[in-house]
Amino acid sequence: MLLVIDVGNSNTVVGLYEGDELVNHWRVRTVVDHTIDEYGMLILNLYRTSKVGSSSISSVIISCVVPSMLNILEPLCKKYFHITPLIVGPGIKTGMPIYYDNPKEVGADRVVNAVAAHEKYEGNLIIVDFGTATTFDYVTQKGEYMGGCVAPGVVISSEALFEKASKLPTVELSRPKSVVAKDTVSSMQAGIMFGYAGLVDGLVDRIKKETKTESTVIATGGLASVIAAETSSIDLVDEMLTLEGLKIIYSRNV
């Protein structure tokens, strides 16, 4: 079985594949000060819910945007699974040309998403990943990664609002009844939810105009389904896109 791990700044998503089937997946917080054993026991306990023993894990692939986490996960794989993991980074075979001024600067998660999207969907594509940062990536119908843009994520944008405006409370990220709200909490929710949907629609529109294409827009990430429902530009939500990309990239390197 293949263990796929996508490490983001806020959350880490772990998936377990048997062949092409995603048997189970989990989302946990990324905690950089956990020890190797703490993470090892966490992962062991997670996949034991699928009734899988450590000996069933035959390979591991990791995508990571938090460099210090690799100092935990690489020795973890060797200690608990007796496997040297495949790390998504420079030199790995992705099957996708990266047209970036410095390809090494592109986040591993962005490349993984692009590979999965091109494999699964047709035509020109825009992938919007709602994570700690929200990334927008453009992939041509030929499977070329052309670049994109990065915006502050909805959660960190909201947290900045709570922290810098002393009279504003922390609010839940949920849809208010209207844009013209009648109380403080609903006013903040309207600004966050509808405002962020406008940001997404605006950037997608600019990408389409700049590339002169009618691209399919795919949303992924933890908040994809929440924000996508308020946009007019997102065509579909694929929450497992990154895990699928890791599986695909692994198959291209064995």
Q: What is the pLDDT of residues 103-118, one digit of tens each?
A: 999 999 999 999 999 9
Residue type, 80: Y
Q: What angle do CA 25, 29, 30 make, to 5 degrees?
A: 105
Q: Which residues are catalytic?
A: 109
Q: Would you kindly state where each structural domain of the chain is located, as residue ranges?
A: 2-87, 103-246
Average pLDDT of the residues of the chain: 92
- What is the distance between the alpha carbons of residues 52 and 55, in angstroms, rounded to a whole number? 8
**Residue 172 has what pLDDT?**
77
CATH code for the domain defined by 2-87: 3.30.420.40
pLDDT tens for residues 155-169? Answer: 888 888 877 776 667
Tell me the pairing of strands 125-130 and 21-29.
unpaired
Kindly state the helix (H) or strand (E) to which residue 60 belongs, with its residue range: strand 59-64
pLDDT tens for residues 171-217? Answer: 878 888 889 988 888 888 888 889 999 999 999 999 999 999 999 99
In DSSP terms, 7 is beta-bridged to 12, 64
Residue 99 predicted with pLDDT over 90 = yes
Region 226-254 average pLDDT: 96
Dihedral of the CA atoms 142, 112, 85, 87 (nearest 10)? Answer: 90
In this chain, the answer to whether the domains covering 2-87 and 103-246 adopt an identical fold is yes
Q: CATH says 103-246 is which class? A: alpha beta
